[in-house]
């Protein structure tokens, strides 16, 4: 592949994540993007056990049973000349750390809102992560098949709550308060929707006309068509003007309205988004940016997943390619160990399904078969001096000791805990006792404990009981060892070690933690795992 071909291939890549509050419809939107992109012929559902089909991106048994997304998925498809890498992330706040890791691999994001609720708590958290990374954000106001907040009010709420300018890129025309038409302000077209009653399993029928076409009056009613045109005229007169440079800086978001359930507005979103979203850009390694085209191959691991194929108990490392071209058989430098790694053929991932890819270029997300060498945050590159910033592990808020029911399965337990900790499902800690180290697991949210227990039984054949510990916050601690032991042995605290040997102190209250930080200047307390 010559430099001109490589440049063209990288230019057509679009790598993005979808962020939202739980139940805003994120996984449903993911399914519909796959439907319109041709990767699916029939869209699934995430509504309960009795659904005819399940969402493609929800491949774990527990995801299918509970109707929630637990782990980030990488999904790929081609559409109208674009190569799309879609990172479907868990919406539930208990799995927010998995979402943070996926955002580290994204070049842009789609922020999904419920049209009755607007900006919610988890949306704010994830938006702040995107803003810190200066990711361009496109907003999709979902569930417009139902009566919701006034669209003008939603624009105002997003702008005032998140501190970002909103450009109404697509405007809803309503009939009886529900979405029936959509004006694409970037193209001047109006889409008139006719719903099939198949619950959105196939594409929605849409007739495309001009704003002044009498078909708009017939479809909406003359009164509502007049209101539709007046609202568009008002936006032209006093609305936020379109500014692509502000979008690129993360200071403006184009806002679309639609319904992922019925598919209304999904194609408009997809078509515009792919034109507006950026291709892969230079990434910083140390102090120097790494150009995606002119630099040799480099990338970083942002996720590790064990047992995607339960028949083979395999382990896949998800690699974001940041520069150059990934080719099977290359000898790459492994930043953490300093060793050379021979790269296996990259895998294209579609939830649990995968296929061998010939190669991959900057912007692509690929899977690498791994035997335990790679961890989240590792850099692989042809340049030994290159290393990307690691993907941080955050301090957990819930803790439990692990008790095995069958002592003879201790090896399976240790292997399962080790694998799941490397994925980031839980933080594995060890508390020392007279009988030896006792495994302690930490989690950002309690639902992670349910996932741990379920996966240990399904994938490793080990039944365990978790005994909740009375600690609510923790910090990694560095400093004089004698002082750390003294602090960690006080009432309401416990000293543990993580799997890498870093010392951590658990606290029974935020008050105790803050007092200790204030009273112990010789110690340094870290809420992100030390390097």
Say what the pLDDT of residue 25 is: 86
How confident is the prediction for the chain on average, in pLDDT?
85
CATH number for the domain whose boundaries are 283-381: 3.40.50.300
Q: What is the mean pLDDT of residues 387-402?
A: 82
8 Å CB contact between 167 and 276:
no
Across 184-220, b (16+ Cβ under 10 Å) vs e yields: bbbeebbbbbebeeeebbeebebeeeebeeeebbebb
- Residues of the chain with pLDDT > 70, as a percent, come to 87
- Residue carrying the six token digits 């035997």: 371
* Confidence tier at 54 by pLDDT (50, 70, 90): very low
Pairing of strands 13-20, 108-114: parallel
Cβ atoms of 230 and 239 within 8 Å: the answer is no
What's the pLDDT score for residue 67? 47
Does the pLDDT of residue 516 top 90, yes or no?
A: yes
Tens digits of residue pLDDT in 322-381: 999 999 889 999 998 999 999 888 888 765 666 777 789 999 999 888 888 888 889 999
383 torsion bin: left (phi>0), alpha (psi -120 to 50), beta (else)? beta
Residue 345 CA to its chain's centroid (Å) = 25
CA 58 – CA 28 distance, rounded (Å): 10
Amino acid 59: pLDDT: 42
Per the CB < 8 A criterion, the answer to whether 367 and 316 are in contact is yes
Averaged pLDDT for residues 301-317: 74
Binned at pLDDT 50, 70 and 90, residue 73 comes out as low
Calculate Rg over the CA atoms of the chain. Answer: 25
Q: Which residue has the higher pLDDT, 309 or 470?
A: 470
Outline which parts of the chain fall under CATH 3.40.50.300. 3-276, 283-381
40 pLDDT above the threshold of 70: no
Is 70 exceeded by the pLDDT of residue 401?
yes
pLDDT of residue 445 exceeding 60, the answer is yes
Q: What is the CATH number of domain 398-526?
A: 3.30.70.3280
- The terminus-to-terminus CA distance of the chain in angstroms comes to 37
8 Å CB contact between 316 and 369: yes
Class of 3-276 in CATH: alpha beta
Locate CATH 3.30.70.3280 in the chain. Answer: 398-526
Nearest to 326 by CA among 348, 304, 354, 353: 348
Angle at alpha carbon of residue 387, lines to 385 and 388, rounded to 5°: 155
Q: Residue 177: which region, alpha, beta or left (left: phi > 0; alpha: psi -120 to 50)?
A: left
């Amino acid at each position: 592949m010559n430099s001109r071909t490589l440049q063209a291939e990288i230019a057509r890549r679009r790598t993005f994540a979808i962020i939202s509050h739980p139940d805003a419809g994120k996984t449903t939107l993911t399914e519909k993007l796959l439907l319109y992109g041709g990767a699916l012929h029939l869209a699934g559902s995430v509504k309960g056990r009795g659904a005819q089909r399940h969402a493609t991106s929800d491949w774990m048994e527990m995801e299918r049973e509970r109707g929630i997304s637990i782990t980030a998925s990488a999904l790929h498809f081609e559409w109208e000349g674009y190569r799309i890498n879609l990172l479907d992330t868990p919406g539930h706040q208990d799995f927010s750390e998995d979402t943070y890791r996926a955002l580290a691999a994204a070049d842009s994001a789609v922020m999904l809102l419920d049209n009755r609720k607007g900006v919610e708590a988890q949306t704010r958290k994830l938006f702040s992560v995107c803003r810190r990374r200066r990711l361009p954000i496109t907003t999709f106001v979902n569930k417009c098949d139902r009566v919701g907040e006034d669209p003008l009010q939603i624009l105002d709420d997003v702008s005032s709550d998140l501190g970002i300018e909103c450009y109404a890129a697509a405007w809803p025309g309503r009939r009886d308060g529900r979405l029936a038409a959509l004006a694409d302000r970037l193209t001047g077209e109006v889409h008139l929707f006719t719903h099939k009653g198949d619950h959105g399993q196939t594409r929605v029928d849409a007739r495309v006309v001009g704003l002044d076409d009498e078909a708009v009056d017939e479809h909406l009613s003359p009164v509502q068509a007049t209101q539709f045109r007046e609202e568009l005229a008002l936006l032209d007169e006093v609305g936020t003007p379109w500014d692509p440079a502000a979008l690129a800086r993360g200071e403006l978001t184009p806002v679309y309205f639609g319904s992922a359930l019925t598919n209304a507005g999904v194609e408009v979103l997809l078509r515009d988004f792919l034109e507006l979203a950026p291709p892969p850009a230079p990434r910083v390694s140390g102090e120097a940016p790494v150009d995606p085209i002119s630099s040799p191959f480099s990338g970083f691991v942002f996720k590790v997943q064990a047992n995607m194929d339960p028949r083979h108990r395999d382990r896949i490392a998800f690699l974001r390619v940041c520069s150059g071209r990934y080719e099977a058989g290359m000898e790459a430098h492994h930043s953490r160990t300093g060793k050379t790694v021979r790269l296996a053929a990259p895998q294209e991932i579609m939830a649990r399904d995968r296929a061998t890819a010939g190669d991959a270029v900057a912007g692509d997300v690929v899977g690498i078969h791994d035997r335990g060498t790679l961890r989240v945050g590792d850099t692989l590159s042809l340049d030994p001096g290159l290393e990307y910033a690691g993907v941080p592990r955050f301090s957990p808020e819930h803790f439990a000791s692990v008790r095995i029911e069958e002592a003879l399965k201790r090896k399976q337990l240790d292997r399962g805990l080790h694998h799941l900790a490397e994925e980031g499902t839980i933080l594995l800690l060890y508390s020392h006792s007279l009988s030896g180290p006792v495994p302690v697991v930490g989690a950002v949210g309690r639902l992670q404990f349910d996932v741990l227990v379920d996966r240990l039984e399904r994938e490793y054949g080990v039944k365990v009981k978790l005994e909740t510990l009375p600690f609510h916050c923790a910090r990694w601690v560095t400093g004089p060892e004698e002082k750390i032991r003294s602090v960690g042995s006080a009432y309401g605290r416990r000293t543990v070690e993580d799997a890498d040997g870093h010392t951590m102190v658990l606290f029974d209250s935020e008050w105790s933690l803050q007092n200790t930080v204030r009273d112990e200047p010789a110690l340094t307390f870290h809420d992100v795992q030390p390097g």
